[in-house]
Amino acid sequence: MALLRQRGTPENQLQGLRVVLPRTPDRAAGMAAELLRRGASSSVMPLIDFERTDKPAELDEALTLLARHRVDWLVITSITTVRALKACALDRGTSLAALVGDTKVAAVGTPSAKALEAEGLSVDLVPPGSMDAVGLVEAWPLPPEGASRSTERMMVLLPQADIAAPTVFEGLMAKGWQVLPVTAYRTVDYPARPELRLTAALEIASRERADGLEVITAADFRSRALDGGIDAVILTSPSVTRRLAGLLDPWPAGLALIAIGNSSARQAAELGLEVAATAAEPTPSGIADALAQTLERQPTETEGTP
């Protein structure tokens, strides 16, 4: 079944759309709420989960440098990184804001920035254009005048996923900064092992309720997609995109793939998946806008009818 070609006010422009969010309910709450506000219904299908790093000593050493004010910049590339660092701060008996102190903080996009601000941190840099690794590198400043790689003011701490692309690391190094990449968490198939799962609750998450969201399995997804019971799927990350690609072959022509950002869109293209739209911002409203734009590009049900 193709996307419903409904047009109207922002409150009903997505009326009747059935959207799958490949996230756990707690991480999908904000997106589901925005889609519901615009008339769409959502189901969640967890495909990936997150565990603590298998290299805790390396992360602990890096955070000790941070706590001792030996780091000039801290780079946050995802909300999951915020969760992982908060867990480490709690292990140390402190808050994330106290751990970071007056270190400058950069966030790859507004969702990560809002998560940091909710934890009491100030964010000094968010890329104004493309909210991804490429955009962050483009917006990154040159080193302070007269600085050299041997000075502390050249230090950038880059905590990230075990499967993170080298884009930020290589880009900042090319600009002349000393970058310390460290694994903050591991991306695993859902569900994570209970004893290793990241469970630190973020302040921003407590403001979004996930009550009542339908959780479906990969088998449910296949059945509904083939029967025309799903109109759109949100590609929430490159790793999710890779897992989604193996669920259907071929993908139904009427099932729209909406990428949350350029990195997910690029991954889809590499896998031979056609993306209907890419959100201008990796936010709930950005995703809903991308869906709406997809509908607007389609003819109405009566157009072309004799």
Q: What is the DSSP string of 129-182?
A: S--SHHHHHHHPPPPPTT--TTSGGGEEEEEEETT--SHHHHHHHHTT-EEEEE
- Residue 272 within a domain: yes
* Dist CA 269 CA 114 (whole Å): 29
Q: What is the share, in percent, of the chain residues with pLDDT greater than 90?
A: 81
Q: Name the more confident of 126 and 10.
A: 126
Give the residue among 86, 67, 66 at the shortest CA–CA distance from 155.
Answer: 66
Residue 73 has φ and ψ, to the nearest 5°, of -130, 140
Residue 11 maps to a domain: no
CATH code (residue 236)? 3.40.50.10090
pLDDT score of 185 more than 80: yes
Cis status, amide bond into 194, omega within 30 of 0:
no
207-232 per-position pLDDT tens digit: 666 667 999 999 999 999 999 999 99
Residue numbers of the domain that contains 230 = 18-45+216-296
184 and 93 in one domain?
yes
Sign of CA dihedral 276, 278, 283, 288: negative
The per-residue pLDDT for 303 is 42
Let me know whether 113 and 72 are in one domain: yes
Number of domains, the chain: 2
Report yes or no on whether pTM surpasses 0.85.
Answer: yes
User: Can you tell me the distance from the alpha carbon of 141 to that of 176, in angstroms, rounded to the nearest whole number?
Assistant: 10
For the beta carbon of residue 119, count every other beta carbon within 10 angstroms.
Answer: 19
83 and 174 share a domain? yes
Name residue 119's amino acid. Answer: E
Residues of 1-12 as b/e, b for ≥16 C-beta within 10 angstroms? eebbebeeeeee
